[in-house]
């Protein structure tokens, strides 16, 4: 393989002038066809070429294959399915929201597990008590639902 490559290189260098001339001749002769082919290529790869230009000008590469519209639809559908499956949870969440708005209860600004004060969410150990919630950060909330604190906290949502 390497030998082959080398010989191609050698051949190219030896006949550079001739090859270049031939290439030029070929291009001249097939100008229209090549132009047409180029146009077709550009048309077919419009999005990719556009993205390449964008990256060249310093932009972050997009994740190819993720259609934002499609993604939005998937998220919406997932939410819809969850709502359909969990009507009682929706009711409880509404009660909680109302109580917060009326200032019957107050949201803690600290995670009751780790003490962090970012992304605080309500966790319901028992849905029969809508206003008895545990205020936890998102990370701890995920951990609760993964069963990390099973001895400490009942899992409901
Ligand atoms: Zn936490
Ligand atoms: Zn929860």
Is residue 69 exposed (0-12), middle (13-18) or buried (19+ Cβ within 10 Å)? exposed
The protein residues having their C-beta less than 5 angstroms from ligand 2 (an ion) are: 123, 157
Please report which ligand is nearest the Cα atom of 126: 2
Runs of H (alpha helix) within 30-136: 31-44, 46-56, 68-85, 87-101
Model-wide pTM > 0.75: no
Q: What's the pLDDT tens digit per position in 31-86?
A: 999 999 999 999 998 988 888 888 888 877 766 567 888 899 999 999 999 999 99
Q: What's the pLDDT tens digit per position in 79-117?
A: 999 999 999 999 999 999 999 999 999 999 999 999 999
Q: Please give the distance, rounded to the nearest whole angstrom, from the Cα atom of residue 68 to the centre of ligand 2.
A: 28
Q: Please give the distance, rounded to the nearest whole angstrom, from the Cα atom of residue 40 to the centre of ligand 1.
A: 56
CB 155 within 8 A of CB 144: yes
Give yes or no for residue 154 having a pLDDT over 80: no
Q: Retrieve residue 70's tokens.
A: 């499609």
The SS3 assignment for 146 reads: coil
- The Cα 71–Cα 78 span in angstroms is 11
Q: Please give the distance, rounded to the nearest whole angstrom, from the Cα atom of residue 152 to the centre of ligand 2.
A: 13
Q: Please give the distance, rounded to the nearest whole angstrom, from the Cα atom of residue 132 to the centre of ligand 1.
A: 18
Please report which ligand is nearest the Cα atom of 127: 2
Q: Please give the distance, rounded to the nearest whole angstrom, from the Cα atom of residue 97 to the centre of ligand 2.
A: 15
Give me the pLDDT at residue 156, please. 66
């Amino acid at each position: 393989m390497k030998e082959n490559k080398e010989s191609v290189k050698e051949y190219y260098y030896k006949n550079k002038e001739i090859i270049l001339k031939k290439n030029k001749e070929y291009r001249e002769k097939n100008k229209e066809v090549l132009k047409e082919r180029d146009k077709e290529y550009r048309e077919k790869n419009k999005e990719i070429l556009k993205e390449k230009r964008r990256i060249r000008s310093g932009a972050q590469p997009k994740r190819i294959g993720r259609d934002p519209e499609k993604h939005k639809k998937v998220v919406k559908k997932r939410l819809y399915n969850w709502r359909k499956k969990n009507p009682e949870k929706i009711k409880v969440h509404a009660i909680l929201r109302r109580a917060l708005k009326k200032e019957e209860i107050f949201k803690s600004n600290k995670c009751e597990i780790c003490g962090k004060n970012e992304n605080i969410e309500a966790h319901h150990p028992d849905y029969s008590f809508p206003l008895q919630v545990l205020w936890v950060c998102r990370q701890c909330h995920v951990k609760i639902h993964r069963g990390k604190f099973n001895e400490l906290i009942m899992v409901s949502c």
